[in-house]
Amino acid sequence: MLDDIIRLASDPEAARLLEQVVVSGKSTKEPQQTPAASETKAPLLFPSDRAASNDIERGSQVAAVRKAITLRNGDFTVDDVGSDLRARGMDIDNIAVGKVLRRLATKGELRVTQQGAGSNPNRYEKTERFRSAA
């Protein structure tokens, strides 16, 4: 069966139809004109060239998290920092923020002031080794 799929995919017209079925989940009952192989573009499954809508989004996630931490006083949680970033228009989830905070804690730039458990999150604070965002 795998050999049949490979043989089918090697035919440009069949490959286009197969791509439509696999990517969109739709089949066509009537044959359609397919563009020449040079005109065919692969679907953009993972858009990575999204335009930045905000200055903070143009830098790396680490730089953005550093900037948000710099603006905070006292201790904070992943959700505190994530909410600050999203309020400034950055599209970032708490998983990404948490990874950055853990990395900064491992480097000694942050300290865990309260170890989280269950629904209670870790609480962090800046140390004297913290390098603020430029």
Residue 122 falls inside a structural domain: yes
Residue 2 falls inside a structural domain: yes
| Structural domain that includes position 119 | 60-126
93-104 b/e with 16+ CB inside 10 Å = b? ebebbbebbeeb
Q: How many domains does the chain have?
A: 2
Which residue did the predictor score with more confidence, 39 or 17? 17
Please give the share of the chain, as a percent, with pLDDT higher than 90. 52
pLDDT score recorded for residue 46: 33
Within this chain, do residues 23 and 64 fall inside the same structural domain, yes or no? no
State the amino acid at position 91 in one-letter form.
D
Which residue did the predictor score with more confidence, 110 or 58? 110
State the amino acid at position 110 in one-letter form.
L
Which residue did the predictor score with more confidence, 117 or 132? 117
- Answer whether residue 50 shows pLDDT above 60: no
Residue 39 falls inside a structural domain: no
The three-state (H, E, C) secondary structure of the chain, written as one string = CHHHHHHHHHCHHHHHHHHHHHHHCCCCCCCCCCCCCCCCCCCCCCCCCCCCCCHHHHCCHHHHHHHHHHCCCCCECHHHHHHHHHHCCCCCCHHHHHHHHHHHHHCCCEEEEECCECCECCEEEECCCCCCCC
Comparing CA positions, the residue from 84, 64, 86, 76 lying closest to residue 114 is: 76
Q: Please give the model's pTM, rounded to 2 decimal places.
A: 0.56
